[in-house]
Chains A and B, each alone.
Chain A
Amino acid sequence: QVTLRESGPALVKPTQTLTLTCTFSGFSLSTSTMSVSWIRQPPGRALEWLALIDWGDHTYYSTSLKTRLTISKDTSKNQVVLTMTNMDPVDTATYYCARIVVGATDLGLGFDYWGQGTLVTVSS
């Protein structure tokens, strides 16, 4: 049974760095083709893909946010960590982590398992 769970602060101040952790079970990021992504959704708005890390430690970032994002993994702990620097009120959103199976390129298999999401509010 695959599960993912996001954790991190519910409130951060502007200019601070956000650190979110995705703890998962039911699969391993040391297994070929396994990958984990972070996706966010501002209140009442659309999903926005942020970053992905795959089994080989390759990382991919949203073009518009890449200067602020870092994604990493701890395979032994089954965790993926996302850091986002210089937080702003417009970054207020529910942040999701999700699993996706990919090859050398996207296989079109989609984000098949999602966490429940964690709401992060950016306010002074």
Chain B
Amino acid sequence: SYELTQPPSVSVSPGQTASITCSGDKLGDKYVCWYQQKPGQSPVLVIYQDSQRPSGIPERFSGSNSGNTATLTISGTQAMDEADYYCQAWDSSTWVFGGGTKLTVL
């Protein structure tokens, strides 16, 4: 079965740029979505189709996908961005999530 690999944790200082990677075989040939999940809350879609932001998602969230790696970038990271982030892709009629990355803003 298809697997998506994320780093368990990423740290960033307020105002700096955070990058969270997601890797998978030929991931660049697939669409990748990203979700933000804060403690005790349901996930929220922050990026779809690799780089598109849903309505209401701040412009500081951006995404890219090429080769075997997709990246979620948060520019000018704010304290409110501290959360778990999950990538997701589709393969062989199944939807797959990455293992999640805990973003710490310190």
Residues of A within 8 A of B (CB): 37, 39, 46-49, 52, 60-64, 96, 100, 105-112, 114-117
Residues of B within 8 A of A (CB): 1, 30-33, 35, 37, 42-45, 47-50, 54, 86, 88, 90, 93-100
The answer to whether A49 and B97 have CB atoms under 8 Å apart is yes
The answer to whether B1 and A115 have CB atoms under 8 Å apart is no
Chain A residues in 8 Å Cβ range of B86:
46-47
Contact of A108 among B90, B96, B97 (CB under 8 A): B90
10 A–B contacts, CB within 8 A, in A order: A46-B97, A46-B100, A47-B37, A47-B86, A49-B94, A105-B90, A106-B31, A108-B90, A112-B48, A114-B44
Report how far A16 CA is from B80 CA in the complex, Å: 41
Closest to A117 in B: B42
For the complex of A and B, list the 5 residue pairs with the smallest distance between their C-beta atoms, beginning with the closest: A108-B31, A106-B90, A110-B33, A110-B48, A108-B49
Given contacts A63-B1, A107-B31, A108-B31, contact A49 B43 (CB under 8 A): no
Chain A residues in 8 Å Cβ range of B95:
37, 49, 52, 100, 106
Chain A residues in 8 Å Cβ range of B88:
47, 49, 110-111
